[in-house]
Amino acid sequence: MVDVPKVTQLLKQAVDPKRVTDRDFDIVAYSRDLSPARQKMATHIVMPESREEVRGILRVASDNNVPVYIRGGGTSHWDAYLPQEPGILLDMSLMNQILEINDRDLTATIQPNCTWAKLDQELRKKGLTYLCSEAGGPAMTIGGSVMKAGGGPHSTAKFGFHGNQDIITLEMVLPNGDIVETGSAAWPSAGKFKRQCVGPDLAGLFIGAEGILGICTEITLRIRPATDVKERMVAVMKTLDDVIELGHFVNRCVGDEYLQGFYLWVDPNSPETFLVMMDVFGYEREIVDYRKTRILEKIKELGGTLGDRAPADDYYGRILTGLTDIFTAGVWHFFGSGSLRIDDIKFLYRVWREELIEKRGYKKAGFGGQVLPRDWLAFMVTNYREPAEWEEIIRISDEINEIVLNGPVAPYGIGGRDGLRPFLEKRDTGYYRLLKTIKKAVDPKDILQRGIFVRKEDLI
């Protein structure tokens, strides 16, 4: 049990007392995320402003065996930061500054809760951009995107998930208070310009780990020149096989892909209509026109039908400028999702259609996917409004996830007991055993994100 009054006093010594609360009235606002996960209450909410304060909070937590959970923008879709047991919730909102924009090296250094919108606004003043690829749009925090290895419909066809190409260095505070710099920043006299340094790629250890190994306090990432050359297209393909061939085509020249965005959508009320929205990438009009011509030729060869480009303009435009109506239909819930080979999307589509729509009669979830460099991020997604829908959604999600994760799908996003952790822990893989070994070594008291990704019982 957490000695709440004692921990409150200790936390108020580590940070400004005004940024510490143990009142239920405050805590309840942090008890849900954007998933059907059950409400989970912390014992304390703390808002650090610096890495030194993060270190102080972790010392309090370690000395008193209190778990610490990390909240960025609060937009997790899979129970990725909610307290799995009573503990301290770090609200990272105040660590949101842009520390440096280096227009010569094409890097930007930011604190983790800087949003994509804030960064892009400053970059645009210098003729630069970061091609945001988050489905949640510019309001999402960069730290949250990176720590979950996020992705979305914009730019992922060319650049992949966050962390595939764009992360250069990370600053991480470990559970014992040590500060670790990755990449070239690990060599103090070198600077922040290169992902690889001496030894292994430590950034890759933290990206996608959802905070179980350390708390991110600084990120340096690759930025790019802005381009005003835009071409978007919409096509309806006759079959999923045609979509697959188009996906291979636009993605075959790895590193020089024809598109930066390739988004497939299938409505549950029209499961044989395959809508594809595309965003052509290029810095020069001649290059963009050439790529557009080649793609149009391929669509015609495959028997696809071109549509009005307005939906693609609207969709990709709002991904970058703001999705103000993102929750009009209700809160999103993703399930049956993951990465898979381009040809294997047929497996996931078949599960969606046969198991979800035909067998279970659930027609509220659409099917979608984004082409990445040589693979897909594919998913099923539904919306919910009322608490009464949660049990049904969780039950159906678990059933579909069990089928999907026994197929050729690499899971995307783990989270706690209401996420994919139960599916991960029961597969006794070398990967999971190594992850538990690393977790024990870095965090022997299991302070950080206890119960997220790794079950407490598995660390004993």
DSSP of 379-391: EEEEEE-SGGGHH
Characterize the bridge pairing of strands 375-384 and 366-372.
antiparallel
Residues of the chain with pLDDT under 50: none
One-letter amino acid for residue 357 of the chain? I
| pLDDT tens-digit series, residues 379-425 | 999 887 777 787 888 889 889 999 999 999 998 777 777 777 788 77
Nearest in space to 221 (alpha carbons), one of 302, 105, 56: 105
Measured CA angle at 142 (ends 195, 214), to 5 deg: 65
Nearest in space to 141 (alpha carbons), one of 195, 83, 91, 191: 91
Nearest in space to 309 (alpha carbons), one of 228, 236, 229: 236
Q: What is residue 401's predicted lDDT score, i.e. its pLDDT?
A: 92
Q: What is residue 61's predicted lDDT score, i.e. its pLDDT?
A: 97
Q: Which CATH superfamily is domain 231-411 in?
A: FAD-linked oxidase, cap domain/gating helix (3.40.462.40)
Nearest in space to 109 (alpha carbons), one of 124, 92, 93, 122: 122
**CATH code, residues 98-225:** 3.30.465.10
Give the dihedral sign, CA 160/150/170/62. negative
Q: What is residue 284's predicted lDDT score, i.e. its pLDDT?
A: 92
Contact criterion met (CB below 8 Å) for 322 and 314: no
- Residue 160 zone, left/alpha/beta (φ > 0; ψ -120 to 50; rest): left
Contact criterion met (CB below 8 Å) for 159 and 221: no
Give the dihedral sign, CA 135/138/144/149. positive
Quickly name the fold that domain 1-92+426-460 has: 3.30.43
Backbone angles phi, psi at 85, to 5 degrees: -150, 165
Q: Where are the domains of the chain?
A: 1-92+426-460, 98-225, 231-411
pTM: 0.91
Contact criterion met (CB below 8 Å) for 339 and 376: yes
Distance CA 149, CA 413 (A): 8
CA distances from 348 to 213, 264, 367 (A): 31, 13, 9
112: which residues sit within 8 A by CB, 6+ positions away?
72, 92, 95, 141, 142, 143, 144, 146, 147, 216, 217, 218, 219
Neighbour tally for 351: CB within 10 Å = 19
Instruction: Return the structure tokens found at 383.
Output: 């919306």
Nearest in space to 111 (alpha carbons), one of 94, 127, 128, 123: 94
Distance CA 144, CA 112 (A): 7
Contact criterion met (CB below 8 Å) for 86 and 41: yes
Q: What is residue 323's predicted lDDT score, i.e. its pLDDT?
A: 64
Distance CA 165, CA 269 (A): 37
Instruction: Return the structure tokens found at 245.
Output: 């061939």
Characterize the bridge pairing of strands 44-46 and 88-91.
parallel
Distance CA 47, CA 383 (A): 31
Distance CA 384, CA 362 (A): 13
